[in-house]
Amino acid sequence: MIQGLDPKKIPAHVAIIMDGNGRWAKARHLPRIMGHREGMKSVRAVVEAARKVGVKVLTLYAFSKENWQRPKEEVSFLMKLLSEYLQKEVDELHEKDVQIRAIGEIELLPRQVLELLDKAIKKTKNNQGLILNLALSYGGRAEIARAARLIAEACLKGDLKPQEIDEELFGRFLYTADLPDPDLLIRTSGEKRISNFLLYQCAYTEFYFTPTLWPDFREKEFIEALKDYQARERRFGKISEQVHE
Ligand code: FPP
């Protein structure tokens, strides 16, 4: 038993919308970017906690497709933080058997970030521990439209027949093709929206909203979220008695 958790009910896939960095900084009369820097410490803490308790996949919404519209300086700073993370943390993550992946329109990232990301992905690709899945330049609707486009192209080429398209096949054309759907989605900072994150994959995901701002969300808060999840009954459209059969 890890910190009061049921080891048999650890969510396989946890996704997190890391929100509230700006408000954390504002409350301290600091520039917004300081909130992002502090938020990176939470990334470290939560990755380590997820690994320790045996979560298999951790997807972090690090940069949305819509985030490109933020002030230029903030976008540059976020890219700098990401580079820093990839430069400083990958060796340690590799030693801990973490496999790094990315989802989203990563080709839009600055070349230097993309190169570091590619290097990290290649270096860790055979690791069998936690999958750290970074959502970068990611948008859920764009991902669904992309899957539809790829499927249409496969049909036109004659590799696929329209009657073969079902939910399972569609899922294979998403960035998350070989990953399980998220069991738990956490959003920090009190907002209660999904903000274009993993729209297709969250059909039966449990949502956990907390007022805690992302820079204040560390191991203790992560474990609290897992405990809340473990107390829920997941029915997947069935009735309670069927789930307990
Ligand atoms: C949302 O807070 C947070 C982001 C847009 C960026 C998240 C980035 C990090 C936590 C750091 C880097 C990540 C990695 C994986 C190295 P917000 O700015 O929207 O906060 P606000 O709503 O209070 O303004």
Atom of ligand 1 nearest to the CA of 86: 16
Give the CATH class of 7-139+181-230: alpha beta
Using CA atoms, how far apart are residues 144 and 198, in angstroms rounded to an integer? 9
Q: Are 48 and 38 in contact (CB under 8 A)?
A: no
What is the best residue among 19, 100, 191 to mutate for testing ligand 1's pocket, by most ligand atoms within 8 Å of CB? 19
Nearest Cα residue to 143 out of 192, 116, 179: 179
Q: What was the pLDDT predicted at 53?
A: 97
| Cα 28 to ligand 1 centre (Å) | 16
Q: What is the 114 CA–ligand 1 centroid distance (Å)?
A: 19
Span 213-233, pLDDT tens digits:
999 999 999 999 999 999 998
Structure tokens at 170: 């569609």
3-state secondary structure at position 187: strand
**Tens of pLDDT along 169-203?**
999 999 999 999 999 999 999 999 999 999 999 99
Furthest-apart CA pair in the chain: how many Å? 59
Q: What confidence score (pLDDT) does residue 1 get?
A: 59
Q: How many other C-beta atoms lie within 10 A of the C-beta of residue 64?
A: 20
Give 210's contacts (C-beta < 8 A, 6+ positions apart).
186, 187, 188, 190, 217, 221, 224, 225
For residue 221, is it left (φ>0), alpha (ψ between -120 and 50) or beta?
alpha
Residues in the chain, total? 245
**Every domain of the chain and the residues it spans:** 7-139+181-230
214 is in an annotated binding site: no
Neighbour count for residue 183 (Cβ, 10 Å): 20
User: Mean pLDDT in each 10-residue stretch from start to end of the chain (245 residues)?
Assistant: 87 98 98 97 98 98 97 97 97 98 98 98 98 98 98 98 98 98 98 98 98 98 98 85 81
DSSP symbol at 126: T
User: What radius of gyration, in Å, describes the C-alpha atoms of the chain?
Assistant: 19
Sheet holding 206-209, edge to edge: 99-103, 131-138, 57-64, 13-17, 184-187, 206-209
Q: pTM (2 decimals)?
A: 0.96
- Antiparallel, parallel or unpaired: β 13-17 and 184-187: parallel
Q: Does residue 81's CB lie within 6 angstroms of at least one atom of ligand 1?
A: yes
The predicted structure's pLDDT at residue 221: 98
Q: Is 60 in the pocket of ligand 1 (CB under 6 A)?
A: yes
